[in-house]
A and B are shown apart, each in its own frame.
Chain A
Amino acid sequence: MTSTKTVTLFVQCLVDSLYPQVGEAMVAIFNKLGISMNCPSDQTCCGQPAFNAGYRKAARAAAKRFIKIFENSESIVCPSGSCVNMVKNHYQELFEDDVKWLERAVQTGQRTYELSQYITDILKIEDVGACCNGKITYHDSCHLLRGLGISEQPRRLIRNIKGAELIEMLESDRCCGFGGTFSVKYPVISTAMVDDKVHNIIASGADIVTGCDISCLMNIQGRLNRIGSSVKTLHIAQLLAD
């Protein structure tokens, strides 16, 4: 398969530093699909942590840096719904009083896609030729689902994985309790929420829980590991790369 398309990899900071294998899986998928890639080596963070915590000046500085790095790219693809939501939707809030930057933010946002969305909606591919034997359950991350309206795209990709069975857990669209600094500042509430999520994951009978946001998955995996569960946590890119 060859294509004239080139994607620019926008790598979520958590993927970059904690889960580089997710980034590599994304590279493997695009290699498989014959899409050429570039990855700006000076990228760091889109600014979402600061924005969510209320530090808009710091978030704005991060956003400007992001825009400068990415604005000339044809298609910007990121393996995280919440980062894409930040660039597409929240950058506009950050620059609402700055017409020049607002325009650049909108331009950049229009070309930014979440990975599963890019594969299905732009490349029009629903089967990436992946194999995985196992029962898979899918967690809808909040910003992906409610901010970007993406829920069917990843499910279609999962259903087409050879050997895999997609099992829906109860309340897959309910927040896992991560919420950025919320999870650290209000650990008791956050834990009660992730416990509900983990309960529904285990009750589904799946061997693997997946999703399009490593931040939620990091939360879920952290709890599953603590309680000694054998359910594996994998980012959707890891499933699609095999």
Chain B
Amino acid sequence: MNILNYKSEAECAINNPVLQKALANLQERIGKGTAQGYRELPEGPELRLKAHAIRMRSIENLDILLIALADGIRKNGGHIHFAYDGKTALKHCLEIARKHNVKLAVKGKSMLTEEIGLNHALNDAGIETVETDLGEYIIQLAGEKPSHIIAPAIHKTKEQIGRLFQDKLGIAYTDDPPALTRAARKALREKFLQADMGISGCNLACAETGHITTVSNEGNIRMATTLPKVHVAFMGMERVTADLKDHEILFRLLAMGAAAQKMAGYVSYIGGPARSGQTDGPEAFHLIVIDNGRSRILADTDFREMLCCIRCGGCLNVCPVYGKIGGHSYGYAYSGPVGAVVNPLLMGINRASDLCLGESLCGACMEACPVNIDIPRMLLLLRAKLAQGDKTWDVKVKSRVEQVSFAAWSCLIQSRPLYDLFLKTAYHGQKLLPRNNKMISRLPFAGKGWTQSRDLQPLAEQSFISRFKDNFAEKQND
């Protein structure tokens, strides 16, 4: 049922020393920088809690805010389209492309377009689509998938990129990062100038003003959204804020969560096409607001909180599991702790069961989240659905064997005499198991996973409870 290759991809990543070093470096630099940044906020780290409340309020008033945003965008001369699913969103985009006779599109980085498979659809329609974020560009040339929400090419070395550019851009081999960046810049500049359509995601939107906000550190999104004659922006329906006051707080926390920055290098507020007399900006602006499963999350109060996420990727930069397995193991647009909750909710809980179960529940993600989302709480709820099945989310019981084991465990712990009997039997049974320096070195059945790389303390001959009864309780009564 589980279609992801979580375990094998994870093992691959763990055995890749280059990736391991890159992930450790990323977490050391950005993960720790973000934690420091929160402490230094003028309002203090409690701003994260305020931001959580702001996001929840927006989510709970989403219908009103989206109508206001649509009105604002139209007033600014833009067009707005609502897409129930990815397919409808693609249809809207292709229609716009056809209308404007688009041959070449340049794109700013957007995980949402990754979610709906936009590049693939555009290519199928004969429209060349070029990623312009340097990391995304590298990934696109290599024919791979991004492995981090904001650092998509984190898994590649400068030598690999040097060979890739030699092969794809026809330049002499170099692994000098500035030289490689210059080569990409030159190649991309030509695409920017030729492109008929610019595509971007949307980091935040503001209902009060009717604008969307894009942030980048390379300036590519600004170029992609101002040079071509038409700009199409994709926005997850949850990304709207009520007013500029809320927007400002989230916008600062976004930069801090994403890159430990006080503010991103390039920030654009885009409210529509260029007005007459303006020299910059597209002739037409379209905003495609996408549901694609988000209404279902909104409808479930247990998971509604997940819509607070602003996709900064901050949780990836601290997660000890992501820090080992990298982004590709998550098998979908979103990786790390956010992916472990969002992917199952969007693609099916059974299909992504490894994401719900393959986390250690350490809670580091929640502390790193700029809007303080309780990801462990939701992982536990997803596990409950897999354990017991769930009609609302069409979840089938993941393991009958485990279900029976826990039913047996439940009986066992309801009676101390029965529990003692079990411990005694297991104590004698464990004598058959091999030892390494007094510890058990090989366990049977489900325990095999443990002793693959670790030894286990054996069961004591007498439990503490029984020792206490024999040795301490009486003495105290004396």
Contacts and interface: CB of A to CB of B under 8 A. Distances in A.
Interface of A: 9, 11, 13, 15-20, 22-24, 27, 36-39, 41-45, 47, 49-58, 61-62, 65, 93, 142-143, 146-147, 173-175, 177-194, 196, 218-219, 221-223, 225-226, 228
B299 interface: no
25 contacts: A13-B413, A16-B465, A17-B460, A20-B467, A23-B467, A38-B476, A39-B472, A39-B473, A41-B416, A43-B465, A54-B380, A54-B386, A57-B388, A93-B380, A146-B367, A174-B362, A175-B360, A178-B360, A181-B357, A184-B447, A186-B7, A187-B450, A191-B452, A225-B454, A225-B455
A189 B14 contact: yes
A187 B464 contact: no
Q: What range describes how many residues of B lie at the interface?
A: 35 or more
Nearest to A30: B472
B10 A188 contact: yes
A109 B476 CA distance: 26
B450 A182 contact: no
A50 to B, nearest CB: 6
B35 to A, nearest CB: 10
Contact of B384 (A15, A41, A56, A218): A56
B459 A177 contact: no
Interface string B308-348: 00000000000011001100000000000000000000000
Nearest to A82: B361
B453 A187 contact: yes
A35 B441 CA distance: 39
Listed from nearest, the 9 A-B pairs whose CB atoms lie closest are A179-B360, A54-B387, A54-B383, A222-B454, A23-B464, A175-B362, A187-B449, A20-B464, A58-B410
B266 interface: no
Contacts of A39: 465, 468, 472-473
Nearest to B419: A44
Contact of B360 (A15, A17, A27, A182): A182
B358 interface: yes
Given A19-B457, A39-B468, A188-B7, A179 B387 contact: no
Contacts of A23: 464, 467-468
Interface stretch (B75-83, B190-198, B282-290, B401-409): B401-409
A177 B476 contact: no
A209 B386 CA distance: 36
